[in-house]
Structure 1
Amino acid sequence: MTHSALSLSHAQFFLSLGFMLLFLALELGLAWVLLFFKLKTFGSNATAWMGAYRFWVRLFALAFILSFAASMPVLIQFGSVWPGLMELVGDVIGPMLAASMLSLFIFKSCFLGVMLFAQRMLSNLVHTLVVLMVALGVTVTAFWLVAIVAWMQVPTGVDVIEGHYVVMDWLDVLSTPALPWYAGLLLAGSLLTVAFFMLGVTCAQTMQKPVTDQERLAFRSALLLGLVAWVALVCVVVGNGFMTAEYQPAKAAAAAAYWESGSQPDLILVAAPSALQDSVLGVLRWSHAGGRWLGRNDSGILMGLDQFSEAMPPVTLTFWSFRLAVLAGALMLFLLLWVVLRTRRYGLDPHSLSYRERQLMVAASVLGWIMLLAGAAYVLLGFLPYLVGNDILAAQVQSPESVVTVGLGVLFYGLVYVLCMIGFFQKLRHAVRFGVVPIARHRGRA
């Protein structure tokens, strides 16, 4: 396979994984939001909280279907794009993939149907317990997927026998230093994404009809969730930065655009990763602050990209994807604080925003997705050219397909995902416009 075909293989796999991530984040975040709504139905204003639950559970179901459908191409591409990978690490990744699918089908078969279609047949307490089990099921399923990514980047608990990775201790496999930080990034990022999604959808609802109590409650909940999730995400990002410096120094050097080892570098915020560092674009920098985010060798010397010339990550993608994620997060904090200040006199009522301001929040609802995709690009593409640890290169396990074949695959998957996104936004637009349409209750039916 040529270098162009390898790059297209990376693009195809990241395209599928990124599309799955968008709806996995909505599914994961909404699962816990729905549990919060159900718990609030035991207090005052239960009718409004139940109305909020009934609206958002429909969007959760839609996100679940798309997330489940998008996971199939990712599983297929483990074998089609990287056919040699499972042969080498199948003893480790195979059981974790099986655990993820088992968790998915258990909660889907046992609890999801009851949650969506049997609410009228159960007491509020029992149905709330079902919602809790669905949230736990979604979280466990996502945990196994994160565990695979974390282990591939920082492999532990295994031994290499005749070129194959063999598990020595499953507890050590799941104790990889990257796992808690990657799990925290997904959970906090999902909750922040859902918070902005809820703000945008609620503002869109108020542009179609007079605001109701259930929309006010959803709006206030989204503001609180967004602020809490943003603080949690910042804490996890800082911890992940220290982990990256220790275990993935090449990625850390690429993110900091640190080319020459030894000196204490500035933390460059907006400059291009090479020639533009001394230009006007390089003025936003934090002097002598970059060293704390960089790896060190055994002699304590900071490691620059010159130490990884034979296996250098894609510097431009790593550099800018990290900054795009940070920029999206900063914009989200600014908008959260602005909305709180703008609406606090009116009890955090979304209708107190002007029409233009609500349009702005509708447009800003995609900031979470942008942050997630940029963060995923930094985590995954910044680890290239390796797929597992510092031993298995992507070029070693790549498919022998030609550039044309891989390129057509990218176009096909891209077209399918575009159509899925169009369908999702059409269904979302219908839900925003008409809300929950009552269904006739028939004897003997849920």
Structure 2
Amino acid sequence: MLGFTALELARIQFGFTISFHIIFPAITIGLASYLVVLEACWLRTGRTLYRDLYHFWSKIFAVNFGMGVVSGLVMAYQFGTNWSFFSDFAGSVTGPLLAYEVLTAFFLEAGFLGVMLFGWQRVGPALHFMATAMVALGTLVSATWILASNSWMQTPQGYEIVDGRVVPTDWLAIIFNPSFPYRLVHMSVAAFLATALLVGASAAWHLLRGTDNAAIRKMFMMALWMVAIVAPIQAMIGDAHGLNTLKHQPAKIAAMEGHWRHGAPGEGVPLIVFGWPDMEREQTRFKVEIPRLGSIILTHSLDGQVPALTDFAPRDRPNATIVFWSFRTMVGLGMLMILLGVSGLLLRWRGTVWHNKAFLRFAICMGPAGIVAILAGWFTTEVGRQPWVVYGVMRTADAVSRHGVAALGTTLAIFIVVYIAVFGTGIAYLLRLIRKGPVIDEGAHPETGGPGLPRTPARPMSAARKSDRDDAAASTPTSAEEN
């Protein structure tokens, strides 16, 4: 199929399915924690705008959660269908870690999700808040086990190989492998950032179209504060993660930097800002570089040296072209996130943030930036690990099942068509929900509910069937709180 080998098609298929899947858990993690904050603020202050925002985002959370579960099931089956030799070799480690996710995270989420979504008028405030908190905790626990498994594949330890199979010898070493803490924090913060950017973009869109009320303003400022505080922290986490990667996966760092050969002693390593790593010529073409900055970033010294790609045999090098540009995509978007947060707070201080159309458009454009950055970071991590599926232990070529090109090409084409149809529809529906915006004073009228009274159902589909009267009410400007 188009000149691809069976191994390449299997990798593309897994990359395609996980690229769809990773979007939904990331937003689920961020939205679940955001809902905890909203409900806590409502319980503490009694201000109805927090409750209105909770009802609005809980519907979006429910749809996103469902798509995450469905896409995750498909991805899990591929371990048995396309990567059976990997499962046979390392299943004694990855299998239990995924089982722990089910026994902990899924039980938490399944046990409390129904209470969170449908128990608003059926249980007390304390119990409902606990249910929301448990769902949020479940999303983080799920991420913990998934990243423990994937991090072990990046930096394996706590095992021995017996009769051609991995045998666990120290579960604490397996779980808390060298890259795990950095990757867990980096991914969790990325999920919070992606959600904040989504929330901020939705608020900016409503403000730009003239829907200016207390709930929209509160949503916008919460997002801007989150981005302004967390984006710089994420940059520092990324720096620490990079140093950890330099220690344990030097070939990946060399590919990220497009660094092929060592310079003269004391010269230092330049930072290549732009360029095109050419795998055949073993050089980065058309490069624009800053002298010694690579050494400063990677070794925190002016003349520190880092491994070069030519230090590794050609068969042991990752694809530097992909890794180089995916890494720069992630870093570039991170810098734009910092710019968004800082400029937003500056405009808020000047009192013009609500009506500055250029800034609002910037916030809307940055809406998907967190998701794109997560995907770029994932490509950097996974492509940079190649040609190993378990770094330094098992090659990806030895892990793939023995399927033919025709079978893999056909299933990949089916995946593309079905995923675009199913998840494209789901994403379109999510955007439709966001477009409607929060219903102001949702609990203030008998027909929409309040304490002890029925209100708009929490079912996600109900949000798409509101009357024009509700739309008009939602878009009516109110005076109000601008924090």
Give yes or no for TM over 0.5: yes
Partner of 1:343: 348
Aligned residues: 436
Q: What SS does the aligned partner of 1:156 have? A: coil
Q: Work out whether 1:391 is the aligned partner of 2:393.
A: yes
**Separation in 2, partners of 1:167, 1:276:** 39
Q: What SS does the aligned partner of 1:165 have? A: strand
Q: Work out whether 1:154 is the aligned partner of 2:158.
A: no
Contact 1:154 1:176 (C-alpha < 8 Å) held by counterparts: yes
**Separation in 2, partners of 1:311, 1:346:** 55
**Separation in 1, partners of 2:427, 2:177:** 38
Contact 2:154 2:391 (C-alpha < 8 Å) held by counterparts: yes
Q: List runs of 5+ in structure 2 lacking aligned partners.
A: 443-447, 459-483
The residue identity in structure 2 corresponding to 1:175 is F
Displacement after TM superposition at 1:48 (Å): 0.9
Decide whether aligned partners of structure 1 residues 38 and 319 sit closer, same or farther in structure 2, where only a CA change above 3 A counts: same
Displacement after TM superposition at 1:390 (Å): 0.4
Contact 1:256 1:290 (C-alpha < 8 Å) held by counterparts: no
**Separation in 1, partners of 2:156, 2:244:** 14
Q: Aligned to 1:382, which of 374, 381, 384? A: 384
Decide whether aligned partners of structure 1 residues 175 and 442 sit closer, same or farther in structure 2, where only a CA change above 3 A counts: closer
Q: Work out whether 1:189 is the aligned partner of 2:162.
A: no
Displacement after TM superposition at 1:397 (Å): 1.5
Within-5 A mapping of 1:96-107: 96-107=97-108
Displacement after TM superposition at 1:58 (Å): 1.1
Contact 2:270 2:289 (C-alpha < 8 Å) held by counterparts: no
**Separation in 1, partners of 2:101, 2:184:** 14
Displacement after TM superposition at 1:417 (Å): 2.6
The residue identity in structure 1 corresponding to 2:168 is V
Contact 2:254 2:306 (C-alpha < 8 Å) held by counterparts: no
**Separation in 2, partners of 1:113, 1:20:** 22
User: Which range moves more in the overlay, 375-384 or 230-239?
Assistant: 230-239
**Separation in 2, partners of 1:174, 1:253:** 27
Q: What SS does the aligned partner of 1:121 have? A: coil
Contact 1:262 1:303 (C-alpha < 8 Å) held by counterparts: no
Q: Aligned to 1:321, which of 313, 318, 326? A: 326
Partner of 2:403: 401
Contact 1:27 1:63 (C-alpha < 8 Å) held by counterparts: yes
**Separation in 1, partners of 2:224, 2:306:** 41
Q: Deviations over 1:56-87 (max 9, x none)?
A: 11111111111111101110111112111111
Contact 1:387 1:393 (C-alpha < 8 Å) held by counterparts: yes
Partner of 1:429: 431
Q: Work out whether 1:287 is the aligned partner of 2:292.
A: yes
Partner of 1:179: 180
Displacement after TM superposition at 1:212 (Å): 1.9
Contact 1:261 1:305 (C-alpha < 8 Å) held by counterparts: no
Displacement after TM superposition at 1:278 (Å): 8.0
Decide whether aligned partners of structure 1 residues 3 and 416 sit closer, same or farther in structure 2, where only a CA change above 3 A counts: closer
Q: What SS does the aligned partner of 2:233 have? A: helix
Q: Deviations over 1:34-53 (max 9, x none)?
A: 11111111333521111111
Measured on the aligned residues, the alpha-carbon RMSD in Å equals 2.6
**Separation in 2, partners of 1:42, 1:123:** 11
The residue identity in structure 2 corresponding to 1:339 is G
**Separation in 1, partners of 2:306, 2:236:** 24
Within-5 A mapping of 1:127-276: 127-208=128-209, 210-261=211-262, 263=264, 264-274=268-278
The residue identity in structure 2 corresponding to 1:306 is T
**Separation in 2, partners of 1:213, 1:242:** 44
Partner of 1:44: 45
Displacement after TM superposition at 1:436 (Å): 5.2
**Separation in 2, partners of 1:202, 1:420:** 27
Partner of 1:13: 14
Q: What SS does the aligned partner of 1:84 have? A: helix
**Separation in 2, partners of 1:374, 1:397:** 24
User: Which range moves more in the overlay, 398-407 or 212-221?
Assistant: 398-407
Partner of 1:35: 36
Decide whether aligned partners of structure 1 residues 403 and 182 sit closer, same or farther in structure 2, where only a CA change above 3 A counts: same
Partner of 2:472: none
Displacement after TM superposition at 1:288 (Å): 5.6
Partner of 1:88: 89
Partner of 2:317: 312
The residue identity in structure 2 corresponding to 1:50 is R
Q: Deviations over 1:391-423 (max 9, x none)?
A: 201110212222232222222222233224432
**Separation in 2, partners of 1:277, 1:291:** 22
**Separation in 2, partners of 1:100, 1:312:** 33
The residue identity in structure 2 corresponding to 1:21 is I
Q: What SS does the aligned partner of 1:331 have? A: helix
Q: Aligned to 1:330, which of 318, 335, 339? A: 335
**Separation in 1, partners of 2:217, 2:418:** 36
**Separation in 1, partners of 2:364, 2:336:** 14
Q: List runs of 5+ in structure 1 lacking aligned partners.
A: 295-299
Q: TM-score, normalised by structure 2?
A: 0.84
Q: What SS does the aligned partner of 1:132 have? A: helix
Q: What SS does the aligned partner of 1:60 have? A: helix
**Separation in 1, partners of 2:284, 2:5:** 32
Contact 2:31 2:61 (C-alpha < 8 Å) held by counterparts: yes
User: Which range moves more in the overlay, 146-155 or 329-338?
Assistant: 329-338
Contact 1:26 1:190 (C-alpha < 8 Å) held by counterparts: yes
Contact 2:32 2:139 (C-alpha < 8 Å) held by counterparts: yes
**Separation in 2, partners of 1:192, 1:215:** 19
Displacement after TM superposition at 1:376 (Å): 0.3
Q: What SS does the aligned partner of 1:41 have? A: helix
Q: What SS does the aligned partner of 1:282 have? A: strand
Decide whether aligned partners of structure 1 residues 139 and 252 sit closer, same or farther in structure 2, where only a CA change above 3 A counts: same
Displacement after TM superposition at 1:293 (Å): 3.0
Decide whether aligned partners of structure 1 residues 109 and 289 sit closer, same or farther in structure 2, where only a CA change above 3 A counts: closer
Partner of 2:54: 53
Contact 1:291 1:302 (C-alpha < 8 Å) held by counterparts: no
Decide whether aligned partners of structure 1 residues 302 and 231 sit closer, same or farther in structure 2, where only a CA change above 3 A counts: closer
**Separation in 1, partners of 2:426, 2:109:** 21
The residue identity in structure 1 corresponding to 2:386 is L
